[in-house]
């Protein structure tokens, strides 16, 4: 790939739209994941006592539910991205490559 090719692709509207949309989606999901997980770790670090309090009448604590929630978020984030990438982005990349070559 020559420099001209790189410049041509970088300037291609299809490429720019795809890259911007995909990266925005991926970074947004990554931000959710990091926020949820770091939030959990910060609670462990600074509010361990609060996590140890029982939630309701039973022995199940806030911390146990919080840990479970992080796992659920991780799975949901992965699922959302895979779905959109496999349905939308792959197709766009394929069309773009056809156009470019």
Q: Looking at 4, 13, 49, 98, which residue binds other proteins (CB under 8 A)?
A: 49
Radius of gyration of the chain (CA): 21
For residue 3, give Cα distances in angstroms to 6, 18, 66.
5, 21, 50
DSSP labels, 1-36? --HHHHHHHHH-HHHHHHHHHHHHHHHHHHHHHHHH
Give the nearest distance from C-beta 71 to other proteins in angstroms: 5
Residues of this chain that interact with other proteins (CB under 8 A) are 1-3, 6-7, 9-10, 15, 18-19, 22, 26-27, 29-30, 33-34, 37-38, 40-42, 44-46, 48-49, 51-54, 58-61, 63-64, 67-68, 70-71, 74-75, 77-79, 81-82, 85-86, 90, 93, 96-97, 100
């Amino acid at each position: 790939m020559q420099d001209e090719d790189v410049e041509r692709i970088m300037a291609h509207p299809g490429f720019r739209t795809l890259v911007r949309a995909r990266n925005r989606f991926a970074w947004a999901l990554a931000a959710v994941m990091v926020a949820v997980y770091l939030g959990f770790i910060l609670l462990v670090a600074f509010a361990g006592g609060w996590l140890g309090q029982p939630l309701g009448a039973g022995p199940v604590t806030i911390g146990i539910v919080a840990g479970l929630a992080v796992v659920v978020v991780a799975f949901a984030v992965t699922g959302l991205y895979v779905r959109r990438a496999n349905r939308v982005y792959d197709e766009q990349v394929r069309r773009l490559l056809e156009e470019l070559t």
